[in-house]
A = this chain, B = another copy of it.
Amino acid sequence: MRYAVLGTGIVGRTVAARLVSLGHEVVIGTRDPESTLTRAEYADWQAGQPEVRLATFPEAARYGEVLVNATGGQASIAALTEADSAHLDGKVLIDIANPLDFSQGFPPFLDPANTDSLGELIQRSFPGLRVVKTLNTMNCQIMVDPARVPGDHNVFLSGEDPDAKKTVRELLSSFGWTEASILDLGGIETARGTEMLLPVWLRLMGSLGHADFNFHIQGAHPAP
């Protein structure tokens, strides 16, 4: 499968590397590739990932059969606008971003939140996309390797399109997520709930002193 990962931060790089390791063709999208390559952290990673091609947002979006939104949540709409609707329509977008706003310091707040969500905002803004919100409730190392946290824990799905969700379930399965670990919450509106997990996640990281944890819904018995 041809994947376009939008966003060159640690989340995008981690997902891109994992997709390559699974045999997929991966382009990673950024606003300005030349500028991105001047960031030592990115350049070092790119040197070790020669299979991943760095491209502009529109080039990446055109290339990808499935898109992954790993941009910062406050920059996602701008990135997708730049990617161009012509390259988005009909495609599955796996939205793993969170609309955290750190402009007022720590703790960040969410914008939007409560009566809206980034997942819904993206779906409304780009109605041709088939948005599935998932993986946004954990550290990126766990996203692509759930066994990193021993024991049972969960990943959530929110989205309107059953076929898109099926595509995402298959990808999650290839990452190591079991069927029982995937909890489908319903339509994209339910992304409000998973995005609103971030504040407690950040506090837990602070009080536990590490990020190798994940939410587990004890007592969940999803329909088979």
Bound-state CA distance A109–B212 (Å) is: 30
Q: Is A120 an interface residue (CB 8 A)?
A: no
Q: List the B side residues contacting A110 at CB < 8 Å.
A: 114
Query: A180 to chain B: closest CB distance in Å?
Result: 12
Number of copies: 2
Residues of A within 8 A of B (CB-CB), count: 46
Contact B200 A197 (CB under 8 A): yes
Query: A122 to chain B: closest CB distance in Å?
Result: 18
Chain B residue nearest to A207 (CB atoms) is B185
In the complex with contacts A186-B206, A199-B193, A207-B185, A215-B213 CB distance below 8 A: no
Bound-state CA distance A172–B22 (Å) is: 46
In the complex with contacts A213-B217, A213-B218, A186-B208 CB distance below 8 A: no
Bound-state CA distance A214–B190 (Å) is: 18
Query: A65 to chain B: closest CB distance in Å?
Result: 29
Q: Is A107 an interface residue (CB 8 A)?
A: yes
Bound-state CA distance A14–B24 (Å) is: 54
Bound-state CA distance A217–B203 (Å) is: 12
In the complex with contacts A114-B110, A189-B107, A193-B199, A214-B218 CB distance below 8 A: yes
Q: Is A161 an interface residue (CB 8 A)?
A: no
Residue-wise interface mask of A (175-213) relative to B, using a CB-CB cutoff of 8 A (1 in contact, 0 not): 000000001111001101110110111111011111011
Query: A182 to chain B: closest CB distance in Å?
Result: 11
Q: List the B side residues contacting A214 at CB < 8 Å.
A: 217-219
Bound-state CA distance A107–B187 (Å) is: 12
Bound-state CA distance A220–B110 (Å) is: 24
In the complex with contacts A113-B113, A114-B114, A207-B186 CB distance below 8 A: yes
Contact A204 B189 (CB under 8 A): no
Chain B residue nearest to A137 (CB atoms) is B200
Query: A129 to chain B: closest CB distance in Å?
Result: 22
Q: List the B side residues contacting A200 at CB < 8 Å.
A: 156, 185, 190, 193-194, 196-197
The chain A residues found within 8 Å of chain B, CB to CB, are: 107, 109-110, 113-115, 149-153, 156, 183-186, 189-190, 192-194, 196-197, 199-204, 206-210, 212-223
